[in-house]
Amino acid sequence: MNIKQIVYIFFLFNMTSFAVGREILNFYIEESENNIYQNYGELESKAGKKFYKWKIGTGSSNLNENWIFDYDIEKKYDKEENTDGWENTFSLSRKLTEKEIFGKSWYMDIGPYVKYNVSDIAGDFGEDFKENKYSLRYRVRTNSDLGLGGAYWGVDFFISSIDTNSRDGYSFEGNFTGNINLGYGFQNFFTIYNEYLDYANNRGTYLFRVENNFRWTYDLSEKFALSIDSEIDSYNYFRNTDQDKSFKFNIGPYILYSQDITDEFRIFAKVGVVGYNFEEVKTKFSSVSESGLYIKIRCGFEYIF
């Protein structure tokens, strides 16, 4: 099958059929199995900085027709800052009754969500970092006819308790997320975050964040594809915080590789070595920006069962 004919989106699968969704050469395919496990290593280099990431395990497990367990276990290392840490997420979601509104099907789930985010920083570089999140999450998903392949979108609501190494507190979120498949290999993924923060140095702070990934993919063969990705991640803070804003942008070509060893097991890689990256961070006390060559290499394996 030509991958440009595959238009299904992973997060909609999980909300409708509770089957496993696999990303292969930048496109998503539904499988009949109940579980997916992925493990990969990643190198990211920009402005002379190197970041290493090991996804020890990320995936989903359909416990039954109503419950799904998602997990993401990541070990990270910042070579320049001599910092290593963990960023892990776990969630358990219960499917709710599907609703028909305005002629569309709306899929919903609810359940606990935990994010464990800690970093050990070498003594000369500063204080260790901890920001753990314990949430109740409610999600809604639906689809529309935008684009040649359709659009899939929804909202996520979080009520969270936050545990930090300075001041504990809480947060509320209402986020809008989705994907538009424009056809001819073009896709756009986005999330618009709206968060109320009251923990650490944020005392009743509003965070408006936009995350967007626009990409074009061309399949070179059954195992290889060419992709041009552009990513934007913008933070804007308002009221009662020492943070102001940050902006990240990168763009570049990637070579994608995927090889099925068996029907259940495959290996994959994504290599980009000539991209461009720009970052700017502003606080009440400083402003720093940097740009330059962007390199990102990822390789690993995936198993479904």
Domains and CATH numbers, the chain: 3-304 (2.40.160.40)
Dist CA 165 CA 129 (whole Å) = 7
- pLDDT at position 201 is 94
Quickly tell me which residue has 């005392």 as its tokens: 203
Q: Which amino acid, one-letter code, is at 91?
A: S
Q: Which long-range contacts (CB under 8 A, 24 or more apart) does 29-32 make?
A: 31/304
- pLDDT at position 10 is 40
Classified as helix, coil or strand, 122 is coil
Dist CA 231 CA 211 (whole Å) = 8
pLDDT higher for 15 or 65?
A: 65
The pLDDT > 90 percentage for the chain reads: 80
Q: pLDDT class for 231, splitting at 50, 70, 90?
A: very high
Q: pLDDT class for 146, splitting at 50, 70, 90?
A: confident
Residue 15 DSSP label? H
Cβ atoms 52, 76 nearer than 8 A: yes
On the question of pLDDT at 1 being above 60, the answer is no
Classified as helix, coil or strand, 12 is helix
Tell me if the pTM is above 0.85: yes
- pLDDT at position 161 is 98
Q: pLDDT class for 17, splitting at 50, 70, 90?
A: very low
Dist CA 146 CA 121 (whole Å) = 46
Q: pLDDT class for 124, splitting at 50, 70, 90?
A: low
| pLDDT tens figures, 168-190 | 999 999 999 999 999 999 999 99
Q: What is the number of residues in the chain?
A: 305
Dist CA 26 CA 224 (whole Å) = 11
The pLDDT > 70 percentage for the chain reads: 91
pLDDT higher for 124 or 284?
A: 284
On the question of pLDDT at 19 being above 80, the answer is no
Q: pLDDT class for 27, splitting at 50, 70, 90?
A: confident
CA 277 to chain centre: 18
In sequence order, what are the residues at sequence separation of 6 or more whose Cβ sits closer than 8 angstroms to the Cβ of residue 162? 131, 132, 133, 134, 168, 169, 170, 171, 199, 200
Cβ atoms 13, 235 nearer than 8 A: no
Dist CA 206 CA 242 (whole Å) = 12
Q: Average pLDDT, whole number, for the chain?
A: 91
- pLDDT at position 51 is 95
Compute the 3-state secondary structure of the chain and give helix, strand, coil in percent, each to the nearest 5: 5, 75, 20
Quickly tell me which residue has 């006390």 as its tokens: 285
Q: Please, which residues bridge with residue 130 across strands? A: 118
Q: pLDDT class for 33, splitting at 50, 70, 90?
A: confident
| pLDDT tens figures, 192-214 | 999 999 999 999 999 999 999 99
- pLDDT at position 259 is 97
Q: What is the dihedral of CA 190, 178, 219, 33, to 10 degrees?
A: 130
On the question of pLDDT at 230 being above 50, the answer is yes
| pLDDT tens figures, 66-98 | 999 999 999 999 988 788 999 999 999 999 999
Nearest to 186 by CA among 219, 152, 214, 153: 214
On the question of pLDDT at 12 being above 60, the answer is no
Write the burial class of residue 27 (CB in 10 Å: 0-12 exposed, 13-18 middle, 19+ buried): buried
